[in-house]
Structure 1
Amino acid sequence: MTDTDVLRYAAFTTRPDGGNPAGVVPDARGLSDSEMQRIAAEVDFAETAFVTSVGAGRARIRYFSPIAEVPFCGHATVAAAISLAEDGRAGDDGVIEFVTPVGPVRIEVARDDDGLRATFTSVPPTVRALPEADLDEILGLLGLARQDLDPDLPPRIADAGNPHPLIALAAESVFDGFGFDPDAVRALMDARGWPATIAVVHRTDATRFAARNLFPVGRITEDPATGSAAAALGAYLRVQAAVPVPGRIEIAQGRHVGRPGVLHVEIPATGGIRVSGHAVRMG
């Protein structure tokens, strides 16, 4: 596999140096699991999407981080959908359905003043309790205490394609200031079988949130923009009745790792959560 076979996009941004980088292999037919894993490790982004078939407004897709296959990846979904649209391989109406390991995901691609924008609708989400022992371990790894939590947004595990432990911090200074040992966080995530990120959020106003998503893989420690976690947060807020539904929120992410991006989330009264953003080619 040569370098020209892998496209590189920045998702949830209109700038190549912002948002979350994603690899896209637009024709992965015939690649074995081990070959896809090797390519993802060589690309060394949080995830690389592999399009294994395309036809009639439908594509099969898989996602690999540098260390393992991931059930679903929001930013690579946005990047791959925009890549297919640029190549004329989305439906005539800009709609394409991705057949993912977690189920079918509908994506709508449209052009606005800032370029191509993709909106995916997550699989039906679930929200469940975060075990007390897991919460204590996460807080300990971040050097935080229970009094740092936002009392209006209790910890949970929210899943809109990937299970994301989700904790909300009350103070902006605490949100900006915590640190962690990436190896220790990775060990906890592996032990618990959490394939994606630990989401840490701070509510900045009624409809805006800031997020830091812990995802130690290779040289990466924090994910710059996490579509699956944005969908999970939307599902969580709906269950907690923390925002009016139907409604919209905006998530700012990536500032702490020098790649700021914005994720837009639509929260319907029922069903999957809609997450949208732009993606642009890098390099």
Structure 2
Amino acid sequence: MTDIADLPFAMYDAFTDVPYSGSQAAIVLNAGQLSTENRMRIARQIGVPATSFVDRIEGTTVSLQFFSTVMELPMCGHGTLCLITRLVDLDLLPCDSDDWHNATLDLPKGKATVKYRRNTNGRIEVMLDVATATFAPAALDMDRLATLLGITPDDYSSSLPAEVASADFIHLCLPLRDLDAMNRLQPDFAGLAAFCIENGLETVAAFSTDVIAVDRHLHVRDFCPAVGVSESAAAGTTNAALAAYLFRNNLVKPEGADLFEIRAEQGLKLGRPSQITSRIMVSDGDITRLQVGGIATRVIEGKLSLPSPDSGPLSQQ
């Protein structure tokens, strides 16, 4: 009979206070003995857009890796919201007041800073520091892209440029004319994945400044078939790139001295509505800090069963 080892496991929905909306991410604790191959297998089995594997927690430094169902991710905004909320829920990170607390993510490609606090509703608000993207004109076959997206070139914005934003991921920032154009999007995901791979893109972030909720600045649909997710219900790194795009195109007004806040709606077409907040701090007209975040909601928790080391290939290093 096979011996079974258990690892603590949970699933949260990010960028929402309502279960079964937002973007899904899983958290696996005590994962230090799992090989990269086995993390990939587990992520595929779980099947959500991102799974974080926590190797260790030392004070407020969390060593981990993120995986999608097809690859390791260098960073994951929505996965970070779920991770930090989970660790606070388990008292593995301190959150003893409504003041901002600091944590550090120690990832294979570098460290990232996270701020979190308990808001006035008692929910954990998480803001992740992300790299500010660099931008370049989109030198792409835009007619072919329109066909792959199920729209026509007339649906592109006539006043805003399509640009490629490069940071932790490479995003095509694709402004559309209005909500009608957004609603007509019907991507050919296989074709779009090939297009992204051919052109060195990881996501196609279609957006409109025409919105449904009056307190939002952006309506977003983010297509990511090249990295294992046909469409993301909520994407932190994508929204951070779009916030920087809006800032550099003078499309947002400051909330206070040298502070801009960009609020996006996403996931509505998927039936998983999400609210994503990006904050930009500037000095002398340049971005000095870029954060993205929101809250996350637990939907599942339990244990992940694994064979013991001498029982089968899943736990071999």
TM over 0.5: yes
Q: Which residue of 2 aligns with 1:12?
A: 15
Q: Give the 3-state SS of the residue equivalent to 2:210 in structure 1.
A: strand
Number of equivalences: 281
**Are residue 120 (structure 1) and residue 148 (structure 2) matched?**
no
Q: Which residue of 2 aligns with 1:194?
A: 201
Note if contact 1:85-1:94 (Cα within 8 Å) is conserved in structure 2. Answer: no
Q: Give the 3-state SS of the residue equivalent to 2:234 in structure 1.
A: coil
Between 47-56 and 9-18, the greater mean CA deviation after superposition: 47-56
Distance 2:151 2:276 in 1: 26
Between 253-262 and 102-111, the greater mean CA deviation after superposition: 102-111
**Are residue 28 (structure 1) and residue 31 (structure 2) matched?**
yes
Residues 31 and 137 of structure 1, relative CA distance in 2, 3 Å threshold: farther
**Are residue 268 (structure 1) and residue 291 (structure 2) matched?**
no
1:179 to 179, 186, 194: 186
RMSD of Structure 2 on Structure 1 (CA): 2.3
Structure number, greater radius of gyration: 2
Between Structure 1 and Structure 2, the one with more helix by share is 1
Unmatched runs of 5 consecutive residues or more in structure 2? 301-317
**Are residue 257 (structure 1) and residue 270 (structure 2) matched?**
yes
Q: Which residue of 2 aligns with 1:96?
A: 103
Between the aligned residues of both structures, percent identity stands at 25
2:294 to 258, 277, 280: 277
Q: Which residue of 1 aligns with 2:225?
A: 216
TM-score scaled by length of structure 2: 0.81
Residues 193 and 62 of structure 1, relative CA distance in 2, 3 Å threshold: farther
**Alpha-carbon shift at residue 157 of structure 1 (Å):** 1.3
Per-residue CA deviations over 1:32-84 (Å, capped at 9, x if unaligned) read 11111101101101111122222121112221111111221110011111111
Q: Which residue of 2 aligns with 1:238?
A: 247
Between 219-228 and 33-42, the greater mean CA deviation after superposition: 219-228
Unmatched runs of 5 consecutive residues or more in structure 1? none
**Alpha-carbon shift at residue 249 of structure 1 (Å):** 1.4
**Alpha-carbon shift at residue 4 of structure 1 (Å):** 5.7
**Alpha-carbon shift at residue 150 of structure 1 (Å):** 1.8
Q: Give the 3-state SS of the residue equivalent to 1:34 in structure 2.
A: helix
Residues 218 and 149 of structure 1, relative CA distance in 2, 3 Å threshold: closer
Distance 1:178 1:35 in 2: 36
TM-score scaled by length of structure 1: 0.91
Between 269-278 and 249-258, the greater mean CA deviation after superposition: 269-278
**Alpha-carbon shift at residue 209 of structure 1 (Å):** 0.7
Q: Give the 3-state SS of the residue equivalent to 1:22 in structure 2.
A: strand
Between 94-103 and 179-188, the greater mean CA deviation after superposition: 94-103
Distance 1:114 1:241 in 2: 35
